[in-house]
């Protein structure tokens, strides 16, 4: 029996690119419909539910942060540790967020001076100092019930929501730590599933996910669900057989999710518009199964290629809508018409791949260098140890050896 409690969970890193591509294809549906109507129609139930990839991200975020910080921050409150955590979260998301935010604004301004089709007046009108301040400080979503128009780069609304979750994490981790201390793994799993049900109940009540302030329970409760799911996993004692069973369970859950999307599309309860959102209830079990599973799907998601794609998934998520907006502008400007053909298919595929290349560039040129730079600001620098051949400089100090 073994207990896994530290290090990167590679299968969850690989899952991130699946969630990101799901969101990308959701936004690219109109282009897919023009380039390949048959492909679009065949995958319509899955593509139409692509917005749920954001909910999967929220659960993953709560899980991974709890995995890394429950022991460090959960036992007792530490203002220093909490501030350090917040700075490190900024170091992770802020650089790419700021770059894509200003790229989106720059492209909107570009359309004012080049060509005949500037972006819509509501987009141009949002280019003001107050909007800039709100977005720089990641609070733009907090002041409005709907996320449409909150950010110059559309997907950035979810980063504003995540920043709220990060600010709450210092208190949440204290609660989760104490719940985990007195609750068995099975009980924690049920608590996680129950927490994730809040947005689902609102969906059942209204028939749509997008209602006033619906973003708030989505981020708070699904982030909390991810934290509780992580606490459950940390308590599990697992055999190799159990890990193999969890891997098979993850495959079964994916099949059920996809099958459920087709079933709900064909037979929506009470003619529910966003019936596909009901599959959200399976995301917590899926994340748990992948985090502990071995073989099959966990092994596939843990391959170096999938893990690398997971690492650049944040950049893809943040840049793809800029690529989409630029293409839509080019269609108007140059009179491009996509008709079902192989050239149209390759054009849409090229756009997705181009967004992927930009994501890789953002990761290597912006995200990782900036993260390391910001991290160094709060970590004590290690003094360079002089080689024996080097003369000592400055004041003389006794040299002592210290283990560790």
CA–CA dist 182, 177 (Å, integer) = 9
Note the pLDDT of residue 3.
53
Indicate left, alpha or beta for 296 from its phi (over 0: left) and psi (-120 to 50: alpha): left
Smallest Cα–Cα separation from 127: which of 103, 148, 108, 154?
Answer: 108
In three-state secondary structure terms, 153 is coil
Does this model's pTM top 0.95? My answer is no
SS3 content of the chain, % helix, strand, coil (to 5): 75, 0, 25
Tell me the Cα Rg of the chain: 23
Q: What is the pLDDT of residues 117-131, one digit of tens each?
A: 999 999 999 999 999
Note the pLDDT of residue 382.
54
Indicate left, alpha or beta for 294 from its phi (over 0: left) and psi (-120 to 50: alpha): beta
Smallest Cα–Cα separation from 60: which of 217, 367, 287, 234?
Answer: 287
Residue 387 domain-assigned (yes or no): no
Residue 395 domain-assigned (yes or no): no
How confident is the prediction for the chain on average, in pLDDT? 92
Q: What is the pLDDT of residues 204-259, one digit of tens each?
A: 999 998 899 999 999 999 999 999 999 999 999 999 999 999 999 999 999 999 99
Smallest Cα–Cα separation from 326: which of 26, 110, 25, 40?
Answer: 110
Where do we find the tokens 């997705």? 352
CA–CA dist 53, 211 (Å, integer) = 18
CA–CA dist 63, 56 (Å, integer) = 11
Residue 207 domain-assigned (yes or no): yes
Residue 4 domain-assigned (yes or no): no
Total residue length of the chain? 404
In three-state secondary structure terms, 2 is strand
- Whether the predicted pLDDT of 390 surpasses 50: no
DSSP one-letter string for 364-379? IIIIHHHHHHHHHTTS
Residue 294 has φ and ψ, to the nearest 5°, of -135, 155
CA-CA-CA-CA torsion for 138, 132, 365, 88, nearest 10 degrees? -20
Note the pLDDT of residue 283.
98
Are the CB atoms for 219 and 271 separated by under 8 Å? no
Confidence of residue 398 (pLDDT cuts 50, 70, 90): very low
CA–CA dist 176, 182 (Å, integer) = 10
Residue 278 domain-assigned (yes or no): yes
CA–CA dist 91, 367 (Å, integer) = 8
- Whether the predicted pLDDT of 394 surpasses 50: no
Q: List the structure tokens of 142.
A: 């907090």
Q: List the structure tokens of 57.
A: 């991200």
Residue 382 domain-assigned (yes or no): no
Q: What is the pLDDT of residues 29-68, one digit of tens each?
A: 999 999 999 999 999 999 999 999 999 999 999 999 999 9
Residue 97 domain-assigned (yes or no): yes
- Whether the predicted pLDDT of 4 surpasses 80: no
Q: ∠ at Cα 50 (47, 56), nearest 5°? A: 145
- Whether the predicted pLDDT of 401 surpasses 80: no
Residue 73 has φ and ψ, to the nearest 5°, of -120, -10
Please tell me which of 3-7, 198-202, 302-306 the model is most confident about, judged by mean pLDDT: 302-306
Q: What is the pLDDT of residues 159-191, one digit of tens each?
A: 999 999 999 999 999 999 999 999 999 999 999
- How many helices and strands, by DSSP H and E, does the chain display? 18, 0
- Whether the predicted pLDDT of 21 surpasses 50: yes
CA–CA dist 71, 87 (Å, integer) = 18
Q: What is the pLDDT of residues 271-310, one digit of tens each?
A: 889 999 999 999 999 999 999 999 999 999 999 999 999 9
Kindly state the DSSP code that residue 149 receives in the 8-state scheme. T
> How large is the average pLDDT for residues 393-401?
37
- Whether the predicted pLDDT of 383 surpasses 90: no
CA–CA dist 80, 85 (Å, integer) = 9
Q: What is the pLDDT of residues 349-381, one digit of tens each?
A: 999 999 999 999 999 999 999 999 999 999 866
Residue 12 domain-assigned (yes or no): no
In three-state secondary structure terms, 204 is helix
Domain that holds residue 100: 17-377
CA–CA dist 262, 242 (Å, integer) = 30
Note the pLDDT of residue 116.
93
* CA 395 to chain CA mean position, Å: 50
Looking at the structure of the chain, the number of domains it has is: 1
CA–CA dist 144, 149 (Å, integer) = 10
């Amino acid at each position: 029996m073994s207990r896994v409690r530290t290090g990167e969970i590679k299968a969850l890193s690989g899952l991130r690119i699946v969630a990101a591509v799901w969101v990308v294809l959701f936004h690219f549906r109109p282009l897919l419909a023009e380039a390949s109507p048959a492909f679009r129609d065949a995958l319509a139930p899955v593509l139409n539910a692509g917005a749920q990839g954001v909910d999967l991200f929220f659960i993953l975020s709560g899980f991974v942060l709890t995995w890394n910080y429950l022991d460090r921050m959960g036992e007792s409150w530490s203002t220093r540790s909490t501030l350090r955590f917040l700075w490190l979260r900024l170091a992770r998301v802020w650089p790419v967020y700021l770059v894509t935010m200003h790229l989106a604004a720059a492209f909107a301004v570009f359309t004012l001076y080049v060509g005949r089709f500037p972006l819509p007046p509501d987009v141009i009108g949002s280019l003001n100092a107050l909007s800039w301040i709100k977005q720089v400080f990641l609070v733009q979503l907090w002041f409005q019930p709907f996320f449409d128009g909150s950010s110059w780069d559309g997907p950035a609304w979810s980063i504003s929501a995540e920043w709220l979750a990060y600010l709450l994490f210092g208190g949440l981790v204290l609660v989760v730590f104490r719940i985990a201390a007195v609750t068995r793994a099975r009980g924690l799993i049920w608590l996680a599933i129950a927490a994730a049900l809040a947005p689902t109940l609102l969906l059942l009540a209204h028939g749509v996910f997008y209602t006033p302030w619906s973003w708030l329970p989505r981020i708070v409760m699904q982030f909390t669900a991810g934290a509780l799911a992580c606490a459950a996993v940390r308590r599990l004692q697992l055999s190799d057989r159990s890990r193999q069973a969890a891997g098979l369970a993850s495959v079964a859950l994916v099949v059920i999710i996809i099958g459920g999307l087709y079933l709900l599309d064909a037979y929506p309860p009470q003619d529910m518009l966003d019936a596909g959102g009901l599959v959200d209830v399976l995301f917590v079990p899926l994340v748990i199964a992948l985090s502990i599973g071995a073989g099959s799907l966990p092994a596939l998601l843990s391959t170096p290629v999938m893990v690398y794609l997971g690492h650049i998934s944040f950049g893809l998520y943040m840049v793809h809508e800029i690529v989409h907006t630029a293409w839509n502008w080019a269609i108007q400007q140059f009179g491009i018409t996509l008709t079902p053909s192989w050239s149209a298919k390759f054009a849409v595929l090229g756009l997705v791949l181009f967004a992927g290349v930009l994501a890789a560039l953002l990761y290597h040129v912006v995200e990782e260098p900036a993260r390391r730079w910001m991290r160094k600001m709060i970590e004590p620098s290690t003094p360079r140890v002089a080689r024996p051949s080097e003369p000592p400089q400055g004041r003389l100090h006794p040299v002592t050896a210290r283990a560790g």
